Amino acid sequence: MAAKELSVVIITQQRDQFEWLASALEGTAEVVMSQQSELNDVLQLISMASASIIFVPIRRDEWVTDVQFIEGLVAASPTLACVAVGATIDQERLLGAMRAGAKDYVTFDSRPSEIAGLVRRLGERVPDVIENPMRQGSLVVMASERPVLQSAFHCLHLAAAIQKSAPEARVLVVDIGVPFAEAQLLFGLEGQFSFIDTLRNLRRLDQTLVESAFPRHKSGVRVLSAPPEGINIPEITTSEMFLLVGTLRSLFTHVVFNTCGLPTVDMTELLVGNANHVIFAVDQSITSCRSGLDFQARLKQIGVPMADTIVLVDHYLPKISPDSSAIAKSFASTKYVELPAATEVRLRAMNIGQLLFELAPQEVLAKRYRDLAAMIHLPAIAKAAAKKVGDQSFLSKLKHSLTGN
């Protein structure tokens, strides 16, 4: 029997404290950083992360407040294992934390093996938790630090192709790439909520809000866009993003994020690190490929996991070097899709706000988007739902939709 995967939360706004715990628990547990300090927000994050253990740093000058916070956590969730962390062993703070309900008290200079051993022991004692919402719907992230021309166009076509391959799937595009709100503007979509509004209303985010506030493209795909004026990335906390992504994955079978043009910050690291598929968007120019490789290398250097890598080579010209196979190989990927320039049909589609699947379904570009969709796995929930669509088998319907016949 496989060991259950533990999720651990640390409440801190200091990146070095998070990295200390993540390093100590590497291979032992998944660590989630909560920058929120309100009890209800922390409890919501714990629930979303399916966490069974939480580390609470005890500050030197505000230790009484921190001890009271532990007491509130334990009262609200008696099965939660709290671990207090201090800079040094202080008898008064240690006793206060233990009386409040902490299971143990450690210091930041404890050996990694001691922390890992403690977490393993605590993990054996806590009850099983429900399936992690971050593992439900499939998360697809199209990523590039450089702005990618028509990245929103790509994402909506990918999402629409997924939707067609599994008609009962629930598919969402979150368009926060640069230029902002491109998908919304291209396809004339107007919603009551922007990406920022959704972050500010996380506690209200449910299926009813989605249906009333997220615009629906005629393909069936829902779209959540950044506001046209853009987003202030430093104001978005990691815990807010974790809650948002987890909630969206519990509401949709597929969530496609466009992050092209965003810098490598905590938000993009979280998205890429939790994605089922990461699509690196490049063209054949050396500068674009080099930028993409530098971006990938930086993510690897800081320890961001990447489950499945797909390379999207846009405006591809087969007679020009480097070819798509060589580009994909440089990204250490065997999966790639070549998008032909198809300048005229792209422009027509964008100018009239129509998908290529309606305008020119037999065009090579439309077929390539279907190829890309075929690389995205269908979660069990989508597979089960798709079986209900008529008497024709799911595989037959998938083949039918991908060939366009």
Convert the pLDDT of each residue in 190-215 to its tens digit. 877 899 999 988 878 889 999 999 99
Domains of the chain: total? 2
Q: Using an 8 Å Cβ cutoff, are 279 and 314 in contact? A: no
Residue 130 belongs to some domain of the structure? no
Predicted confidence (pLDDT) per residue in 254-276, tens digit? 999 999 999 988 889 989 988 99
Predicted confidence (pLDDT) per residue in 282-302, tens digit? 999 999 999 999 999 999 988
Domain match, 15 and 164 both: no
DSSP assignment letter at 202: G
Choose one of 62, 90, 125: the last residue of a domain: 125
Range of the domain at 219: 136-403
Residue 1 belongs to some domain of the structure? no
Domain match, 106 and 235 both: no
Domain match, 253 and 119 both: no
CATH number of the CATH domain containing 22: 3.40.50.2300
Predicted confidence (pLDDT) per residue in 164-186, tens digit? 999 999 999 999 999 999 999 99
Domain match, 90 and 181 both: no
Domain match, 203 and 325 both: yes
Domain match, 219 and 121 both: no
Choose one of 102, 125, 148: the last residue of a domain: 125
Domain match, 210 and 284 both: yes
Residue 220 belongs to some domain of the structure? yes
Tell me the whole-structure pTM to 2 decimals.
0.76
Domain match, 295 and 167 both: yes
Choose one of 125, 148, 180: the last residue of a domain: 125
Which of the four pLDDT bands, split at 50, 70 and 90, describes residue 391?
A: very low
Domain match, 155 and 68 both: no
Domain match, 255 and 340 both: yes
